[in-house]
């Protein structure tokens, strides 16, 4: 070199590893370097190498301490969170402290869809996502999915400067990155996600930091696994809670049904004499009585109708009830046509327009059911939808009726955009007499629908939110009705019969005696099942048996069902009619006819004809 007389270079060593060199130039104006100077230079170089190595070790120690503190803080904070997306955001923030210029993305794996989705990213990482036409929350492209699947080496590194191929290369280079690192988040065989880091040329991934990234991935796997376990536990707990609530609700409805059954029975017993004498008084010779009697009868019939609606809530399907083949779509069309004044004409008079739409699956098979009951159920649902729209107070509303098949069921759906219900109201809306309509509502509409669904072996599903509307689904099983052979009805004159009437209610006994005598029959009454059996056996032993027995079903000591069993054992061909205030569906097998209280005169007459026709065929 110009102006340099001598040049000396001494290597700097860290143990057995060279780490640099110490160079000294002796200018022309200076004296030549003496041997002792060269020896001092070598000695200084030895100390300098040690000092530099110690400094590097100190820096590495400090860096590792920071990484360990970062990792501990990440794990501590993440363990307090149970949302995987929130944990992913914490991980991205922690890694951004280590690599300020790197693009960092945390992907989470969804095993239900077998897809990764971007859960968190720093600012540079979001630029990479934009280059991939992705955003936070969007799934990773299916054609690039193999890139994120874990392999045996776990961590994968691509250096674009070496020409290594990566499906994300174009997006990475466009964002100014020259290398890409993928670190899957895996615990055992469970794939949980992946950490993706893109590095600029000035900040490559060092071996030491690669180890930190691997450790972060392993700790995240444990935290995410715990979060998933907790979420699954919470989900199972919520399902259990919902099942318990449904069971309690079902038990509450069952208790209400039993209570309603008892109330209906007592009311029906009390109505028997009123209705019967009102019918008899319609034939009175007194014109004033003939005018007043129909008013009394109609008032009683209104009460009877209310009780029957109450009974519809709990009444089970009777084994003798005839199920016909019903086309559900036809029922829907009939109900829409019959109720048009209620959902179209009447609201328009109030300045409200209700738009009704239908989406019916025309390929639905017929079901076994009672068409009149299904029409009543859909009518109630449609009226409720109209009331909900009117209660909302807006000028327009929509009701949508749909039918479709779901497994082995036909589903009829009635949806409205009316006022909706809060959660408490939704849970109670099918209870008898529960209403939000004040004096205008009876509280029996949805109770009737629920009872009809139960009798058809189906379910009633209700979804609602306050201010958002209500959707009610009637699930009906697809069943084929059992064909019933038609019977030729032949008019038969019934002779005067000797009839034994058994009932523990003196009012019912008195009325039935009057009605039967009015029909020309000879009547003997018994105030209990025990007395009735005694009278029957005495008459039989004296050779003067009864032609017909009419017995109440609900009696103390010996019930009507036990009376039927004993009488059929004594006289198998004996005609029997059962009276019940719980509904004719409660009648035991073996009886020829069943009547619901209060009994009407014409119903009693027809029941006797039917029984006599069955036991005395021509």
- Which pLDDT tens digit goes with each residue over 192-205? 888 888 888 877 66
The whole-number pLDDT of residue 500 equals 94
Angular region, 403: left φ>0, alpha ψ -120 to 50, beta rest:
beta
Report the pLDDT value the prediction gives residue 321, as an integer from 0 to 100. Answer: 57
More confident residue, 209 or 43: 43
Over residues 327-364, the pLDDT tens digits come to: 999 989 988 888 888 888 888 888 899 999 999 999 99
**Residue bearing the bigger pLDDT, 27 or 469:** 469
Q: Whole-angstrom Cα distance, residue 563 to residue 207?
A: 94
Which string of DSSP letters, residue by residue, matches 390-446?
HHHT-SEEEEEEEEEEETTEEEEEEEE-SS---HHHHHHTTSTT--SSGGG--S-HH
Kindly list the distances between the CA atom of residue 406 and the CA atoms of 314, 403, 411, 473, in Å, as whole numbers in the listed order: 26, 10, 7, 11
pLDDT interval class at 485 (50, 70, 90): very low
Highest averaged pLDDT of the listed ranges 129-138, 237-246, 351-360, 501-510: 351-360
Is residue 487 very low, low, confident or very high in pLDDT (cuts 50, 70, 90)?
very low
- Going along 113-205, which residue ranges are E strands? 115-121, 156-159, 179-187, 190-199
Look at residue 514 in the predicted model and tell me its pLDDT.
Answer: 86
Q: In the chain, pLDDT over 70 holds for what percent of residues? A: 79
Asked if residue 525 has pLDDT above 90, the reply is yes
The pLDDT of 93-109, averaged and rounded, is: 84
Mean pLDDT highest for which of 167-176, 382-391, 579-588? 382-391
Quote the pLDDT of residue 440: 54
Given this structure, which CATH class describes domain 498-615? alpha beta
Q: The domain at 82-315 falls in which architecture?
A: 2-Layer Sandwich (3.30)
Query: Can you tell me the mean pLDDT for 54-71?
Result: 66
**If you average pLDDT over residues 256-284, what whole number do you get?**
72
pLDDT digits (tens, 9 = 90+) for 429-450: 777 655 666 555 555 668 778 8
Q: Cα(183)–Cα(107) distance, rounded to whole angstroms?
A: 10
Lowest mean pLDDT among 46-50, 274-278, 286-290, 579-583: 579-583
Average pLDDT over every residue of 517-540? 91
Q: What is the pLDDT of residue 72?
A: 64
Compute the radius of gyration of the chain from its Cα atoms.
Answer: 44
- What pLDDT sits at residue 179? 84
Q: In the structure, what pLDDT confidence band is assigned to residue 499 with cuts at 50, 70 and 90?
A: very high
Instruction: Provide the pLDDT for residue 489.
Output: 45
Hey, how many other C-beta atoms are within 10 angstroms of the C-beta on 466?
A: 13
Q: So what's the pLDDT on residue 589?
A: 75
Mean pLDDT of 101-128: 86
CB neighbourhood size of 526 (10 A) = 21
313, pLDDT greater than 60 = no
> Chain-wide mean pLDDT for the chain?
79
The values of phi and psi at residue 191, to 5°, are -85, 125
Model pTM?
0.41
Residue-level pLDDT at 151 = 57
Question: What average pLDDT score do residues 544-561 get?
Answer: 89
Rounded CA-CA distance 200/175 in Å is 9
Class of domain 324-477: alpha beta
């Amino acid at each position: 070199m110009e102006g340099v007389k001598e040049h000396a270079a001494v290597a700097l060593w860290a143990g057995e590893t060279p780490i640099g060199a110490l160079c000294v130039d002796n200018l022309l104006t200076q004296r030549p370097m003496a041997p002792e100077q060269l020896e001092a230079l070598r000695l200084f170089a030895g100390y300098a190498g040690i000092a530099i190595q110690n400094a590097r070790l100190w820096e590495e120690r400090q860096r590792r301490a920071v990484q360990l503190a970062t990792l501990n803080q990440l794990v501590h904070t993440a363990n307090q969170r149970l949302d995987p997306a929130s944990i992913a955001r914490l991980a991205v923030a922690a890694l951004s402290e280590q690599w300020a210029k790197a693009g960092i993305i945390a992907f989470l794996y969804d095993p239900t869809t077998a897809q990764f989705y971007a859960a968190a990213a720093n600012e540079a990482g979001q630029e990479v996502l934009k280059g991939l036409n992705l955003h936070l929350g969007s799934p990773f492209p299916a054609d690039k999915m193999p890139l994120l699947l874990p392999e045996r080496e776990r961590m994968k590194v691509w250096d674009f400067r070496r020409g290594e191929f990566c499906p994300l290369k174009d997006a990475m280079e466009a964002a100014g990155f020259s290398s890409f690192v993928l670190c899957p988040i895996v615990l055992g065989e469970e794939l949980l996600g992946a950490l993706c880091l893109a590095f600029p040329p000035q900040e490559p991934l060092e071996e030491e930091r690669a180890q930190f990234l691997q450790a972060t991935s392993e700790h995240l796997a444990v935290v995410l696994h715990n979060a998933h376990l907790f979420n699954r536990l919470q989900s199972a707990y919520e399902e259990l809670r919902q099942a318990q609530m449904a069971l309690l609700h079902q038990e509450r409805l069952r208790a209400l049904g039993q209570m309603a059954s008892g109330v209906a029975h007592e009311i029906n017993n009390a109505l028997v004499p009123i209705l019967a004498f009102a019918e008899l008084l319609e034939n009175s010779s007194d014109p004033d009585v003939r005018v007043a009697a129909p008013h009394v009868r109609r008032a009683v019939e209104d009460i009877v109708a209310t009780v029957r609606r109450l009974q519809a809530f709990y009444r089970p399907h009777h084994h003798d009830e005839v199920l016909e083949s019903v086309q559900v779509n036809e029922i829907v069309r009939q109900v829409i046509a019959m109720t048009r004044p209620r959902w179209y004409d009447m609201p328009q008079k109030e300045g409200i327009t209700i738009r009704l739409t239908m989406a019916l699956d025309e390929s639905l098979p017929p079901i076994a059911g009672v068409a009149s009951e299904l029409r009543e159920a859909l009518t109630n649902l449609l009226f409720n939808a109209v009331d909900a729209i009117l209660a909302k107070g807006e000028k327009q509303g929509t009701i949508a009726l749909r039918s479709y098949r779901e497994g082995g069921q036909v589903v009829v759906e009635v949806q409205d955009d009316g006022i909706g219900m809060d959660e408490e109201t939704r849970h109670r809306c099918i209870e008898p007499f529960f209403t939000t309509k004040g004096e205008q509502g009876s509280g029996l509409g949805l109770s009737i629908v629920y009872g009809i669904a139960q009798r058809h072996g189906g379910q009633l599903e209700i979804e609602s939110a306050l201010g958002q509307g209500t959707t009610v689904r009637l699930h009906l099983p697809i069943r084929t009705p059992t064909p019933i052979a038609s019977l030729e009805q032949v008019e038969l004159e019934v002779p005067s019969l000797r009839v034994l009437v058994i009932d523990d209610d003196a009012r019912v006994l008195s009325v039935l005696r009057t009605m039967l005598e009015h029909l020309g029959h000879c009547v003997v009454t018994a105030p209990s099942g025990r007395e009735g059996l005694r009278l029957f056996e005495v008459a039989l032993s004296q050779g003067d048996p009864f032609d017909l027995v009419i017995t109440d079903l609900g009696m103390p000591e010996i019930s009507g069902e036990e009376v039927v069993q004993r009488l059929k054992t004594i006289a198998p061909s004996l005609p029997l009619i059962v009276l019940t205030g719980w509904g004719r569906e409660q009648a035991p097998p073996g009886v020829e006819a069943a009547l619901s209280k209060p009994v009407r005169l014409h119903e009693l007459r027809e029941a006797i004809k039917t029984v006599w026709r069955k036991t005395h065929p021509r």
